Amino acid sequence: MTDQPTSPTPLTSMSLEDAHTSGVYPKRALTIVRGQGAYLWDSEGRRYIDCVGGQGAANLGHAHPAVVAAIQNQAATLISCPEIFYNDTRAALLEKLTTAAGMPRAFLCNSGTEAVEAALKFAKLATGRKHIVAAKRGFHGRTMGALAATWEPKYREPFEPGVPNYTHVPYNDLSALEAEISDQTAALILEVVQGEGGVRPGDGEYLRAAQALCRERGAMFITDEVQTGFGRTGKLFAHQHYGLEPDLMPVAKSMAGGLPMGACLIGSRVGTLEPMTHGSTFGGNPLACAAALAALEVMDTEDLPGRAAALGGWMLERLADLPSRFPEKVREVRGLGLLLGIELRNKVAPVLRGLQERGVLALPAGVTVLRLLPPLVISKDDLELVAQAVEAVLTQSV
Ligand SMILES: *Cc1c(COP(=O)(O)O)cnc(C)c1O
């Protein structure tokens, strides 16, 4: 399926970006100009199956009509309204979001890292303590507080000294937590499935014991659901797989159907937060709230968590024999819902290029893990094509 090329031509877009962008992103030589559902089109009119999913922001698929309509209507009504005023759209979203999460309150912001910053600050305010425990291979964002919780030394070391009093413990290791969480610990922050760190699902027993340990020692239990939230793993929020009750839960990515938005859900153990202790100019703006309200409705009406569970389970099984069929190339296949990882024995970059040549866009998670993060509206037929493309690339090369 091809479309008319759109201007500016790829060369123009690429050379303009190369000349003027910050330089902090590794770029693929591809200019994406349009999206629909689980498809993206480049400037040459070539169609791709999208397993990048806006790096987690496109769970609803591209250009979802309900989100488009909500944005159009709200944009023509009111875009800006700081939280010093009440607003009808924001009120409706707060009610729907907190009900869906089963947590009484939420702080609204504009990105994942801001949602994590809010969680860390609220944990410090609630406990009067300063020590934060995070996990090795954890990823929590790029601003200074969230960055200190992020494990990857490459991301942190250029900015040291960072925020003090953070420690990193091995993930899925309860005794390490028992040794580290003390009466000085404000919070433990964990992902339910480590996303950027290689698609590593948390063990249910471990996560429940971690929560109990936090309760026992007076620390806040933070589940970072920025990537796992909004249906990705087969539940609306991943902690619902294990019956967890986090005290603070940062969310973002797909929250507003692709528009920039984040939130920190706040549980009852946090207590009262005083005015002026935190804030955001854009936080809770009606435009993002309208998009998020529409996105949450679509989650329900299209049962996107149920789709992710069914399709993700099917895909995991479909790919399960890769390690035995390609023992020199594939170490393990793992995931939860439609957050899927294929751990290779070698670098993932050539596999990503091979997939792109075959019309499939996918992500890395670290140096050796191929991560599939398709919109939850993807069809089973397209997932089958993705599986065939992976097999073809593994057969031919690397
Ligand atoms: C992406 C991500 C973040 C950071 O979100 P941004 O919107 O990029 O700031 C934080 N935590 C997790 C688990 C993420 O996957």
**Structural domains for the chain:** 10-63+304-395 (3.90.1150.10), 65-301 (3.40.640.10)
- pTM of the shown model: 0.96
The pLDDT of residue 3 is: 56
What is the set of active-site residues? 139, 224, 253
Please give, one letter per residue, the 3-state secondary structure of the chain.
CCCCCCCCCHHHHHHHHHHHCCCCCCCCCCCEEEEEECEEEECCCCEEEECCHHHHCCCCCECCHHHHHHHHHHHCCCCCCCCCCCCHHHHHHHHHHHHHHCCCEEEEECCHHHHHHHHHHHHHHHHCCCEEEEECCCCCCCCHHHHHHCCCHHHHHHHCCCCCCEEEECCCCHHHHHHHCCCCEEEEEEECEECCCCCEECCHHHHHHHHHHHHHHCCEEEEECCCCCCCCCCCCCHHHHCCCCCCEEEECHHHEECECCEEEEECHHHCCCCCCCCCCCCCCCHHHHHHHHHHHHHHHHCCHHHHHHHHHHHHHHHCCCHHHHCCCCEEEEEEECCEEEEEECCCCHHHHHHHHHCCEECEECCCCEEEECCCCCCCHHHHHHHHHHHHHHHHHCC
pLDDT, tens digit, for every residue of 178-195? Answer: 999 999 999 999 999 999
Protein residue with least CA distance to atom 10, ligand 1: 140
Measured in Å, residue 55 CA sits from the centre of ligand 1 at 9
Question: How far from chain centre, in Å, is Cα 177?
Answer: 24
Angle between the N-to-C axes of helices 65-75 and 286-301, in degrees from 0 to 180, rounded to the nearest 10? 160
> Which atom of ligand 1 approaches the CA of 262 most closely?
7
Measured in Å, residue 144 CA sits from the centre of ligand 1 at 13
The token duo for 30 is: 């591809």
Length of the chain: 398
Protein residue with least CA distance to atom 5, ligand 1: 112
Protein residue with least CA distance to atom 6, ligand 1: 112
Please provide residue 105's backbone torsions phi and psi, each rounded to the nearest 5 degrees: -135, 165
The pLDDT of residue 9 is: 59
> Which atom of ligand 1 approaches the CA of 260 most closely?
7
What is the CB neighbour count within 10 angstroms for residue 158?
7
To test the pocket of ligand 1, the residue of 192, 249, 253, 282 to mutate (highest count of ligand atoms within 8 Å of its CB) is 253
To test the pocket of ligand 1, the residue of 199, 227, 248, 251 to mutate (highest count of ligand atoms within 8 Å of its CB) is 227
What is the CB neighbour count within 10 angstroms for residue 324?
8
Protein residue with least CA distance to atom 8, ligand 1: 112
Measured in Å, residue 56 CA sits from the centre of ligand 1 at 9
The Cβ-side half-sphere exposure at 198, using a 13 Å CA radius, reads 17
The pLDDT of residue 397 is: 73
Protein residue with least CA distance to atom 7, ligand 1: 112
Cα–Cα distances in angstroms (integers) from residue 85 to residues 71, 91, 281, 286, 290, in the given order: 21, 11, 12, 11, 16
Measured in Å, residue 139 CA sits from the centre of ligand 1 at 7
The pLDDT of residue 98 is: 98
Task: List per-residue pLDDT tens for the chain, 398 residues long.
Answer: 455 555 555 568 999 999 999 999 999 999 999 999 999 999 999 999 999 999 999 999 999 999 999 999 999 999 999 999 999 999 999 999 999 999 999 999 999 999 999 999 999 999 999 999 999 999 999 999 999 999 999 999 999 999 999 999 999 999 999 999 999 999 999 999 999 999 999 999 999 999 999 999 999 999 999 999 999 999 999 999 999 999 999 999 999 999 999 999 999 999 999 999 999 999 999 999 999 999 999 999 999 999 999 999 999 999 999 999 999 999 999 999 999 999 999 999 999 999 999 999 999 999 999 999 999 999 999 999 999 999 999 999 75
Separation CA 172–CA 174 (nearest Å): 6
Measured in Å, residue 249 CA sits from the centre of ligand 1 at 12
Residues lining ligand 1, Cβ inside 6 A: 111-113, 116, 139-141, 191, 195-196, 224, 226-227, 252
